[in-house]
Structures are given as structure tokens and as C-alpha cells.
Amino acid sequence: MSKVRKVVTPAFPASAKACYRPRQTFRSAVQQMISYAVTDGVLGGRSARLWRNIARCAAELIALLALFYSPIPLLCVLALEVYFAFRLDWHDIRKARLGTWTARMAYSLLVPWIVAWYQTVGSVTKKNRPNRQNFA
């Protein structure tokens, strides 16, 4: 037993479990990403994330332009986007509906554009959006 536990007893039951079930919709996930990107831009942080997402946008544009010559670059970009969309929770999403897969893929394709645009907007305007949940 640690020194802290000897002095202070926990304020929660010993076998308590926290149940976290995020119920984000596509819209709320996009709004949250916009909020994070604007804040990053205002604070001037996470520039590596900005440049990484700008590179993803450029790769998508180049792949679309190269489609006149070959579909291979677009297939490579789509394979990379599938990896980004499903790599973290592959086991949880295997049983999901087609709509969930579609929303996840669309979100993965939109993230670099959202981050690049709104982080740039935040860095230029230096105006942070208020957090909606703080309004009563």
C-alpha cells in the first residue's frame, strides 16, 4: 500500500468500473476536429501535424491529377487512407454496419483538409472559438 493510500482513502468504491461509450456522430466528430485545429492554430502548436496534413492533401491532389495517366497513385492514396481510418480500432469495427464504415472512411478523407484549413485560419485570425458546452 502506498503512503498516499495510508493517509487518504479513495472516494470511489473499490471495484467500480467506468463505462465510457462515445456516441459521436459524423457531424460532432467533424466539429470537434475543427475546434482542435483552430485552437492549435491560435496557440501556434503542433506545426508538424499541420505539415503532415498538408502533405496528405497534396498527395490526394497529385493522385487525382495523375489519374489521367494511371490509377495506381490514387489506389495507393486510398490504401493509405484505409489504413489511417481503421488502424486503431480494427477489432471493434469489423462487426459494424456499412454506414459506420462509410462514415469512418469519409472522415479519414476529410481530416487532412479540415486540419490544414482550420489550423491555418486559427493561426491567421488568432481568434479561438468558444467551447459550446460552456454555454448554459
pLDDT in tens, 68-94: 999 999 999 989 888 888 777 776 777
Is the pLDDT assigned to residue 55 strictly greater than 60?
Answer: yes
Give the separation between CA 44 and CA 131, rounded to whole angstroms. Answer: 18
Is the pLDDT assigned to residue 64 strictly greater than 70?
Answer: yes
Q: Which residue has the higher pLDDT, 55 or 86?
A: 55
Question: What pLDDT does residue 16 have?
Answer: 67
Question: What pLDDT does residue 9 have?
Answer: 72
Question: What pLDDT does residue 83 have?
Answer: 85
- The answer to whether 53 touches 116, Cβ cutoff 8 Å, is yes
Question: What pLDDT does residue 123 have?
Answer: 87
Give the separation between CA 44 and CA 123, rounded to whole angstroms. Answer: 6
CA angle 124, 55, 126 (to 5 degrees): 10
**Among candidates 107, 109, 87, 106, which has minimal Cα distance to 29?**
107
| pLDDT confidence band for 6 (50 / 70 / 90) | confident
So where are the chain's domains? 42-123
Is the pLDDT assigned to residue 130 strictly greater than 80?
Answer: no
Residue 55, SS3 per DSSP: helix
Give the separation between CA 128 and CA 41, rounded to whole angstroms. Answer: 9
pTM over 0.75: no
Question: What pLDDT does residue 73 have?
Answer: 92
